[in-house]
Homo-oligomer: A and B are copies of this chain.
Amino acid sequence: MYKLTLTYFDFPGGRGEPARLAMTLAGIEFEDFRFPFADFNKIKEQTPLKQVPTLTVDGRQVTQNNAINRFVGKMAGLYPENDYQALLCDEIMDGIEAVTDKIVQTFGLSAEKQKLAREALVDGPLTQYLKWTQERLVEQGGEYFIESRMTIADLKVFVWIRSLNSGHLDHVPRTLVADIAPKLNEHMQRVAQTSAIAEYYSS
């Protein structure tokens, strides 16, 4: 087994959370190195691209969150063996990453610009990607995204939907998911009720 350290912000969401969840679900031992937002300027200087999350694998610090998700997903038995199913799993993960990136780009904006940018996201890409993601879920039977079982794609979507529902994103209505893609809320509940995940968030 590898010696693993996941480096990410100390909050239960964002780009580092799916990998934490996958390793937790599978009981994979790893150092969960969490740091407060205030330390980011210091921490990022110790990373290859001034970004987190990183996964350090036997001393080698690796960047790119979906690359990390895929790697830990395989270790955790949460990634399809079949190449076509793996393609569909990757499509979901990269789709969510693309729309997440659009939100992240609004973080540094002034209040007025952020409001305009977020409203444009809500009307445009967020609605579009929510509909697309829900269609993909329905196409696969409505319970899970791939192979009717939990995979890393479900964890990626779960973290995204929780974030949209949280009310922490100003100008993104907490009812957006319920209004646009209610089946993604049902999916979010399904994942949340998985015993290892329920236990993780209650502890």
Q: Which residues of chain A have a CB within 8 Å of any CB of chain B?
A: 2, 48-50, 57, 62-64, 66-68, 70-71, 74-75, 83-84, 86-88, 90-91, 93-95, 98, 101, 128-129, 132, 135
Minimal Cβ-Cβ distance residue in B for A129: B49
**B67 & A74 in contact (Cβ 8 Å cutoff):** no
Cβ contacts A to B, 19 pairs, < 8 Å: A48-B132, A49-B95, A49-B132, A50-B128, A57-B87, A63-B91, A63-B95, A64-B91, A64-B94, A64-B98, A67-B94, A68-B87, A70-B86, A70-B90, A71-B83, A71-B86, A71-B87, A75-B83, A101-B101
Q: Which of B57, B88, B101 contacts A62 (CB 8 A)?
A: B88
* Other A-B pairs beyond A2-B84, A64-B91, 17, CB < 8 Å: A49-B128, A50-B128, A57-B84, A57-B87, A62-B87, A62-B88, A62-B91, A63-B91, A64-B90, A67-B87, A67-B90, A67-B93, A68-B87, A70-B87, A70-B90, A71-B86, A75-B83
The CA-CA distance from A75 to B87 in the complex, in Å, is 12
Known: A48-B132, A49-B129, A132-B48. A74 touches B68 (CB 8 A): no
Chain B residue numbers with a CB within 8 Å of A86 are 70-71
A75 and B84 CA atoms in complex are apart in Å by 10
Residues of B within 8 A of A84 (CB): 2, 57, 71
Q: What 9 pairs across the A-B complex have the smallest Cβ distances?
A: A67-B90, A64-B94, A71-B87, A67-B91, A64-B91, A74-B83, A67-B94, A62-B91, A67-B87
With most chain B CB atoms within 10 A of its CB, the pick from A93, A95, A101, A128 is A95
